A and B are shown apart, each in its own frame.
Chain A
Amino acid sequence: MNLLLCGVNHKTAPVALREKLVCLIPDAGVAYEHFQAWPEIAESLLYNTCNRVELMCVTETPEEAAALVRKFFGRHPEIAPADLETSFYVHRGQEAVQHFFRVAASLDSMVVGEPQILGQMKAAYRQATEYRSTGPILNRLVHKAFSVAKRVRCETGIGDHAVSVSYAAVTMAKKIFGDLAGKNVLLLGAGEMAELALEHLKGQGVARITVANRTLSRGVQLARRFGGEAVSLEETQDQLLTADILISSTGAGDILITRDQVKGVMRRRKQRPLFLIDIAVPRDLDPGINDLDNVYLYNIDDLKEVVELNWERRKHEAGKAERLVAAETLKFLHWLETLEVYPTIIALKDKAEAICQAELKKTLGQLGPLTIEQRQALEVLTASVTQKLLHDPIIFLKRNRRPKNPHQELDLVRRLFNLDPDRNQEPSEED
């Protein structure tokens, strides 16, 4: 049994190609039907995350299986064979397991340590089990991958540090307010980064979201999306009285809110802390505001600095995670190896059983009528002779394995007992 992993990811394929390949997946039923129809593929799991489309499968004949999968990936009418030429990769055995674990632990992602990937893989696995396309090997591999991912998350600090500007803003807010539940957010202007920050804040349970935009319709649209309300830019001053967090990202050319404005507002708000985030370039908020008591002003550069620092930390933690993945990969491969000897053991036992039955039949025919006890005694005799004879070869298979070349011994036993009578008996695969 061989593990084979093939597909394309963000490192090898441009987003356009990945998007086309993802189109093949919604029809997972069709895809799995294909895989199940191919005798080359015993078990399969097809999954995609934001940055990859990959197929993990168990196969006896990796070469042929890889070629088939590649053909399957090329089925999309808009994909040229040349596209796949450079972006399609194939991992086998240890590499495949390690790659799979790394994906699950979010070490292979564009944003290392992002938490969504595990959820996507779980969904893909659920789908695969619905189509019964996974078997004992993939089931175990997937569960191991999930546990590796969990361990990486718990034992390393890979997900601890915010690595996007919008999320960094949220962690800063938490250092000021502690709990963000019940806080009011005011958004000046609308922009992609501001929206992302809003999404994070919404996730933290903020009470009210207000959007002030130059074009009211855009503001209304955005406010509706987040269940907030829209006001005009002129109302900013009044809104400042009730807001706790302000995110400013207007395209205005000069300062929108001055130091004195905020100073006046602070007195009226009884000094409740105010967190101002200025992600506009040029800046919307007077930098002097940061000197006021209980007011904290961050601009885009400050936030970027946080993010960069956190990237460094995350990279450091990723190193620890890689070691963990490597160790778990070896453990899994070891399990896989022990799995490999079972068919041989079963074949050995079957062969012995068949010989016993044949010989018993012959002997019983020659001996004539026997009592039931005598007959049973004969059966027990043959059974125990073969059992004792096979005991040592089985132990040899299970225990005395050479880690460097596990197949050698397996092969020897199969040839010794002639378990594959069709196979060429000449010593051709000796190494």
Chain B
Amino acid sequence: MTNFFLLLTLMAYFGATGLWLAYFLVQRESYYRAGGWVMAGGLALHSLALIQRVWSLGHLPAASVGEALLLFGWVLVAAFLLLIWRYPIKVLGALVAPLAALMVSGALLLPREHGTISPLLKSFWLTIHICLTLMGYAALALACLGGILYLIQERQIKGKRFGFFYRRLPSLSVLDTLNYWCLTIGFPLLTAGIICGSLYAQHTLGNFWNWDPKEILTIIAWLIYAVLLHERLAAGWRGRRAALLAICGFLVLIFTFVGANLWFAGYHNFARFIQQP
């Protein structure tokens, strides 16, 4: 049943991808609006799938890469729809929708592991830790995508190329404001997520900080964002540098999410979450 909902979700996300790409190409307003509705429909189905899975598992599904992707995709789409509702950067959809579609595909294709999950991972605190972190990720992901658009548009304006991208992309100031807002929302969420996790680690493992590879990488990303936010507020950094740092920071985050699970062993590794029966 969950997979049935997920397949529908996937179709909706791919549909929205098509519509928003079409909007990007021909700039017809109706395509953009249709894309928004399809995406919202997709999110509703996605929510149903998640609710169903939480119901059957009895805890938040975040114990494998696939499950985490599913959750992350949901938060990203929700954050994006919230964003374009208040602050319409219409062409951003052409990047977010395919990303969401990829995440759901990943969730569907990656093998689902069966087994029991340690009671430690079913705690309420851990759920909070995951939710906060993923919400932070989503905001920072949007900052990264906005940064990519900024770099493209800046290149057009600096290089005096007034073609395809120049006409379709929003103004630099709009993209830079997006960077600022995503950062001011995403960074505190990420920080709170880290603190939450570290308190729980103290409670269960006896240590606030365990120098686990994922923790180290996360702190690197956190530092990048901290520098960016500080410089933005203090020295007025903006524009290209801000966009570049937002992209770098998110690349590190992606690496912690995927890479850390593949190449490093640690207690954050997804492989350790599920004990084979």
By a CB distance below 8 angstroms, the chain B residues around A305 are: 160, 162
User: Is the CB of A175 closer than 8 A to any CB of chain B?
Assistant: yes
- Residue of A174, A178, A273 ringed by the most chain B CB atoms within 10 A: A178
A-B residue pairs in contact (CB < 8 Å), sample of 13? A177-B172, A178-B172, A178-B173, A179-B173, A271-B235, A273-B172, A290-B158, A294-B240, A296-B158, A298-B160, A302-B160, A305-B162, A309-B162
Q: Is B238 an interface residue (CB 8 A)?
A: yes
Which B residues are CB-close (under 8 A) to A175? 153, 157, 166, 171-172
B239 at the A interface (CB under 8 A)? yes
Interface residue from A174, A293, A298 paired with B171 (Cβ < 8 Å):
A174
Q: Which residues of B contact A306 (CB under 8 A)?
A: 162
Q: Is A200 an interface residue (CB 8 A)?
A: no
* A298–B174 CA distance with the chains assembled, in angstroms: 21
CB contact list, B153-173 vs A, under 8 A: 153, 157-158, 160, 162, 166, 170-173
Restricting to A312-340, which residues have a CB under 8 Å from any CB of B?
none
Shortest CB distance B82–A (Å): 21
Chain B hits for A176, CB < 8 A: 157, 171-173
Please give me the residue from chain B that is nearest to A173 by CB atom: B171
Q: What is the minimal beta-carbon distance from B201 to any residue of chain A, in angstroms?
A: 39
Count of residues in B whose CB is under 8 Å from the partner chain: 18
6 other A-B residue contacts (CB within 8 Å) besides A176-B171, A298-B160: A175-B171, A176-B157, A176-B172, A273-B239, A305-B160, A306-B162
Compute how far the CA of A375 lies from the CA of B91 in the bound complex, rounded to whole angstroms. 81
Does A178 contact B157, Cβ atoms closer than 8 Å? Answer: no
- Bound Cα distance A306, B159 (Å): 12
Residues of A within 8 A of B153 (CB): 175
Residues of B within 8 A of A172 (CB): 157
Of A175, A271, A305, most buried by chain B (CB within 10 Å of CB) is A175
B160 lies within 8 A of A273 (CB): no
Contact residue among B166, B171, B237 (Cβ-Cβ distance under 8 Å from A178)? B171
Tell me whether B236 is interfacial, beta carbon within 8 Å: yes
Q: Is B28 an interface residue (CB 8 A)?
A: no
Q: Does A202 make an interface contact (CB < 8 A)?
A: no
Output the least CB separation between A275 and chain B (Å): 9
Q: Does A214 contact B (CB under 8 A)?
A: no
Q: How distant is B3 from chain A, measured CB to nearest CB, in Å?
A: 44
B112 within 8 A of A: no
Q: From residue B13, how far is it (CB to closest CB) to chain A in Å?
A: 29
Closest chain A residue to B175, Cβ basis: A178
State A352–B237 Cα separation when bound (angstroms): 90
Question: Is A270 among interface residues, defined by CB-CB distance under 8 A?
Answer: yes
Whether a CB of chain B sits under 8 angstroms from the CB of A272 is yes
